[in-house]
Structure 1
Amino acid sequence: MRFQLYILAILFSVFSFSCQQKSTDASSSEPSVDSATIRKREARIRKDIKADIKAGLIEEVMKKKQAQGFNGTVLVAQKGIVVYQNAYGYANFKDTVRNTLQSKFQLASLSKTFTAVAVMKLSEQGKLGLDNTVKDYYPDFPYEGVTIRSLLCHRSGLPYYQYTFDKVVRGDKIYPTNQEMMKWFATTKPTPAIFNLPDHFFSYNNTNFAILAALVEKVTGMGFDQYMRQNVFVPLGMKDSFIATSKNDSLNINRTYGYQFGQRLPKDYYDDITGDKGVFSTAGDLLKWYNALRDNRIISKESLKEMILPRSFEYPGLRNYGYGFRLWVNAKQQTDYVYHTGWWKGYNTIMFFDLREDFVIILLSNRYNRSVYNIKEIVDIMNEGKKSTVEENILDE
């Protein structure tokens, strides 16, 4: 009996080893098969979208921008394929550190897209109600009827924090946080006057998104930087992205500095108020951001659709605003293109995309240069020569 059990044990071991070996052999061969399949697929897509032709044309556009003083990185992608990417100029002019594709830029107001998505994500989870008012979370907030929706689409009518508190901030050399800003709104006497009633008309205002970031902190019990890292950047593989208030020094590797009028600009007194600005990222990470939005990996398809729905019609024209995204609309006021620009302390940025043709255009600069916002030529190239309604300069800041 013992001998039979011994034989069975040997046979079982041999069988198990054989199965494991086959599994190992199969798994070791699968990546090469997958890689070949992926390469064929990418080659087919590159041919279908005429990637090489577009890359050559974009290169010519970027040569002109470089001659106009462009200093930063550019990435253009379509249908999962990087059509063109390059880096120009310096991250640090004093030490002649050149920009690379790994250079991290302050996104300025392009950061608002992240704040808005964080709010929509919390709304999906039932942690933040879009129709709730700020007073529901901050009872001492002095303004009535300001809903989360009105903040998201810049229809709150609130005062501008950077002008309202500028005297005390710069006079006392204070670096306020979002929560300190909320406290100031609640305690300042007399209460700063509103500009208009909530939902009366569109008025672009950084206060709206600074409050939204404060709300994210309030309902999650986490700092905005911590929340974004754990719930957005890490899950999406955006390893080169962080919020300006982060204390993780390793994130500062490849960080750029902002320049304007030939001077490197020091830390601003409002740099620690985030949500309206404050995200540092790379062009490559922003491609991951676009892909995650497109593929509904961070918020649902329904939430994204709501975010890119035009919300303001007081002013006729082709520009509009959704929830944290600027919109380029057609004559029927339907969204054609989605984008956001940014401009803060020497940095100017743009992320512009078309979900129909599945392309994204990203330009990040750390030396102020208005050519960043002149993307019509690139848009027309991505549309394969078909002229778009996009203007030569779409700076909205």
Structure 2
Amino acid sequence: MKRKKTRILCGFLSILSCCLFLSAAAKAQKLNGQIDSLIKIVITDQQGPGGVFMVAHKGKVLYQKAFGKANIELGVGLTPENIFQLGSMTKQFTAVSVLLLEQEGKLKVSDPISKYLPDYPAGNKITIHHLLTHTSGIKDFTKMKSLASIAQKEMTPKMMVDFFKDEPVDFAPGERFEYNNSGYVLLGYLIELVSGERYADFIQHHIFDQLAMRHSYYANDRQIIKNRAYGYQKKENTYVNKTVINFSVPFASGSLMSTLADLLKWQNALSQHKLLNVAETDKAFSSYKLNNGTPFNYGYGWHIKEMEGLPVNTHGGSIFGFKSMGVYVPGEDIYVVGLTNCDCSSPTLLTENITCLVIRQLIKGQ
């Protein structure tokens, strides 16, 4: 009798488990279909450049697909394994590199930059914190008319700093928040001065190698990189190959390349404190205030926002031929990334919409 009851119970549990599995599979299929629909509204031409998208929850991939072509001339389709230029998502890596040096006691974010660059104009008033938070007031080199004169030249970090350092400042340090690429070029130079390593080598040794990010690089148009996606721009009604720039110009503000899988390794490492301790991590993801006490929503290398009533950390990027966007929901461990290989197609709003959809489905059960 007991055996019969046991068999009945086991059968019931087996049926229940099967039902739960089918229910979860149906929900996953529904979510995937909804994400597909959102993407196809934006990426409509499967014969043109497109993008790759990923959703991860608790460190595991829930959704990952590619749309469009990696190379239009050869008719090669994009895959989730393709390597994309990240543009300003590079700033995350630069900010964490600075915090790694602080963690090692080699600098402090409160240091004035004159400690490392004694001849920098008003460098005693500009701190590393100001550079990290885009509150330094220094001239953004991307807004200078003379940028075209150096865009294709090989520039050392010092040459880049010399290019903008004598320009009139836009405001006093800490007075305003204004997104600034020059600040992150300066940070890359400081990383080199403090560590004794080239910026590209520091990122490789202290981040990429540490996290087994084997498909991430400091960008180089001459190096043969397997699975590299080609970049495009749109001119009138046709696609053209991207404008060529020398990556020594954007430098630490926008010159890294990566894949969806490597970016997930990166986010998981940050969440699990594999690189930074809790105190340094908190600095990256805190909001700060201007001199007058007004708060602004930027940490060190990330925008601090809310979506669906939850705090999120975000950052996008744009460089000739490519755009990128990453959104992380820390309280729920949700990570959403979109990478596109045409700067005519921004994944920013799309990635944010996917994040909101995932929050509603997974967390709120709507």
Please indicate, yes or no, whether the TM-score normalized by the shorter chain is above 0.5: yes
Q: Tell me, in whole angstroms, the C-alpha distance in 1 between the residues paired with 2:281 and 2:75.
A: 41
Paired letter, 2:264: L
Partner of 1:244: 219
Partner in structure 1 of residue 283 of structure 2: 306
Match of 2:245 in 1: 268
Q: Distance in 1 between matches of 2:30 and 2:230?
A: 34
User: Partner of 1:328 in structure 2?
Assistant: 305
From 325, 350, 366, the counterpart of 1:374: 350
Q: More displaced, 110-119 or 365-374?
A: 365-374
1:231 aligns with 2:206: yes
4+ residue segments displaced more than 6 Å: none
CA distance in 1, matches of 2:282, 2:135: 19
- Correspondence 1:96-115 to 2 at 5 A: 96-115=75-94
SS at match of 1:61: helix
The amino acid of 1:155's aligned partner reads T
1:328-367 equivalences in 2 (<5 Å):
328-329=305-306, 336-367=311-342
Distance in 2 (alpha carbons) for counterparts of 1:85 and 1:196: 43
Where does residue 30 of structure 1 map in the other structure?
none
| Structure 1 position 147 matched with structure 2 position 120 | no
Instruction: Give the match's secondary structure for 1:361.
Output: strand
**CA 158–221 in structure 1, closer or farther in 2 if over 3 Å, else same:** same
Alignment correspondent of 1:19: none
CA deviation vs aligned residue, 1:3-24 (integer Å, no higher than 9, x gap): xxxxxxxxxxxxxxxxxxxxxx
The residue type paired with residue 147 of structure 1 is T
| 8 Å Cα contact 1:318-1:330 kept in structure 2 | no
Highest CA radius of gyration, 1 or 2?
Answer: 1
From 163, 169, 176, the counterpart of 1:201: 176
| Change beyond 3 A, Cα 1:120–1:49 | farther
Pairwise CA distance, 1:312:
4.4
| Structure 1 contact 326–339 (Cα < 8 Å) conserved | yes
Kept in 2: contact 1:327–1:335 (CA 8 A): no
Q: Secondary structure at the match of 1:130?
A: coil
Deviations 1:190-246 (A, max 9, x none): x31111111111010100111111111111111111111111001101100011259
| CA displacement, residues 250-294 of structure 1 (integer Å, 9 cap, x when unaligned) | 5x1111222111111132146543111011000111111110111
Alpha-carbon distance between aligned partners in 2 of 1:346 and 1:296, rounded to the nearest angstrom:
33
Within-5 A mapping of 1:1-397: 47=24, 51-67=28-44, 71-144=50-123, 145-164=125-144, 166-167=145-146, 170=149, 174-185=153-164, 191-245=166-220, 249=223, 252-261=225-234, 262-269=239-246, 271-312=248-289, 320-329=297-306, 336-368=311-343, 369-385=345-361
Q: How far 1:300 moved relative to its partner?
A: 1.3
Taking structure 1 as the reference length, the TM-score comes to 0.76
C-alpha distance in structure 2 between counterparts of 1:253 and 1:283, whole Å: 15
Evaluate the alpha carbon distance shift between residue 198 and residue 171 of structure 1 in structure 2; reply closer, same or farther with a 3 A threshold. Answer: closer
SS of equivalent to 1:364: strand
> Which 10-residue stretch deviates more, 84-93 or 374-383?
374-383
* TM-score, scaled to structure 2: 0.82
Show CA shifts across 1:12-49 (max 9, x none): xxxxxxxxxxxxxxxxxxxxxxxxxxxx9xx98x9499
Closer, same or farther in 2 for the Cα pair 1:50/1:137, shift >3 Å?
Answer: farther
SS of alignment partner, residue 338 of structure 2? strand
Q: Is residue 319–residue 326 contact of structure 1 (8 Å, CA) maintained in 2?
A: no
Q: Which is worse superposed, 50-59 or 352-361?
A: 50-59
Contact kept? 1:71, 1:365, Cα under 8 Å = yes
C-alpha distance in structure 1 between counterparts of 2:295 and 2:70, whole Å: 35
Unaligned stretches of 5+ residues in structure 1 = 1-39, 389-397
Count of residue correspondences: 337
Q: Write the letter of the residue equivalent to 2:178.
A: S
46-55 or 128-137, which deviates more:
46-55
Q: 1:330 to 1:363 in 2, by over 3 A?
A: closer
Q: Which region of structure 1 is more displaced relative to structure 2, 122-131 or 317-326? A: 317-326
Q: Residue 352 of structure 1: CA displacement?
A: 0.3
Counterparts of 1:213 and 1:151, CA distance in 2 = 11
State the distance in 2 between where 1:176 and 1:339 align. Answer: 30
Q: Please, which runs of 5 or more residues in structure 2 have no aligned partner?
A: 1-16
Q: Contact (CA 8 Å) 1:225, 1:245: kept in 2 or not?
A: no
Cross-structure match for 1:394? none
Post-superposition Cα deviations, 1:105-131, rounded to whole Å, max 9, x if no partner, equal 110011111110111111100112111
Deviates more, 1:96-105 or 1:69-78: 69-78
SS, match of residue 360 in structure 2: coil
Deviations 1:324-366 (A, max 9, x none): 10111489xx970001011111211100010111110000001
Q: In the alignment, residue 43 of structure 2 is paired with which amino acid?
A: Q
**Contact 2:233 2:240 (C-alpha < 8 Å) held by counterparts:** yes
